[in-house]
Structure 1
């Protein structure tokens, strides 16, 4: 009898855990999709905080390492 109760409890625990992960994942997808639609540049991706634009890359990020004229 105790073994049956333990099996049922384990299965219920696993089912609740999987459902929790699925619900959290779906809520995160909806949040990211909403943020993507609000931004002007779709190449920037979703921002981590609502209302905070992503920081642009510094100019050295675009330098070519093989070209000595672009280094300083």
Structure 2
């Protein structure tokens, strides 16, 4: 793997790590909002949004594992 490709992978990995943190923070925000509202419909909406954020976080974590694996396998070469 070229040094440029390795550097791109490292940058992508860092960007994904940051995105994972933001997704988690967003999910926590929505979960907290769902507990604070007095309307059941709004609570349900916030819980749904939190679940979407957590699903997106899982997708990002899978992508992170894939990129880290690529980087590790090429660094061993």
TM-score (norm 2): 0.46
Structure possessing the higher relative contact order (Cα contacts under 8 Å, 6 or more residues apart)? 2
TM-score (norm 1): 0.49
